[in-house]
Amino acid sequence: MMGTLLIARHHESEWNKEGRWTGAHDSHLTVYGFQKSQEMGDLIKDIRIDCAFASMQVRAIETLSCMLEGRNTKNIPVEYDAAFNERDYGDYTGKNKWEMEQILGEEKFNCVRRDWDCPVPGGETLKMVYERAVPHFVEDVLPRLREGKNVLIVSHGNALRALEIYIEQIPHEDAPKVEMLFGGIIIYTLDEQGHSLTKEVRQVSSQVNA
């Protein structure tokens, strides 16, 4: 019997609070982010967690730690991998998003944020994130689920959007509609290929400037 997959986005980082494109930059959680991460853990107290995965970035690592603390889960195996890191925003990293919206114009800004293959100078597209995140999921996470283990992944908005696209078999042209909210946890049951059979969303109330 397949295990249950839970995916969660890190909560508010210092750069999220400032409205800056964080991407590959390491930014710690805010006090609010720590608090909400613990609430996210409490939200899934009823589900056994056998192992967890996170990106190599501190905001995801801190969120995972707080979630496990919030649900009073100790001593489970945790693996960290850059394949689950956030999209690299290249030359846009550190720039204020809302100022960039004025510079780029609404159409280009939305393309950069949401589209499947919209280039960023010196950075990655969602398609490129998909090409590193999904193989890691298939090769390293899916075998644990096939063993019947319940797995928690804590990652970033675009890496998790990439996983959603694969898991739910969403056409690439519909990528702009795919979202992973702050404070949200998606709970999936999957088939042997890692595609969704059932989906449940749990959410803590969150207000993040991102």
Tokens of 147: 């063993």
Residue 11: which residues within 8 A CB-CB, separation 6 or more? 29, 32, 33, 34, 36, 37, 40, 59, 63, 66, 182, 183, 206, 208
Sheet containing 151-155: which strands, arranged edge to edge?
78-80, 51-54, 151-155, 4-9, 184-190, 196-203
Query: Among the options 10, 25, 136, 156, which is catalytic?
Result: 10
DSSP assignment string, 71-138: TT--S--EEE-GGGSPPP-GGGTTSBHHHHHHHH-HHHHHHHHH-SS---TTS--HHHHHHHHHHHII
Cα three-residue angle 34-37-43, rounded to 5 degrees: 150
Residue 10 among the catalytic residues: yes
Residue 86 among the catalytic residues: yes
Query: Among the options 12, 62, 86, 124, which is catalytic?
Result: 86
Residues with a catalytic annotation lie at 10, 86
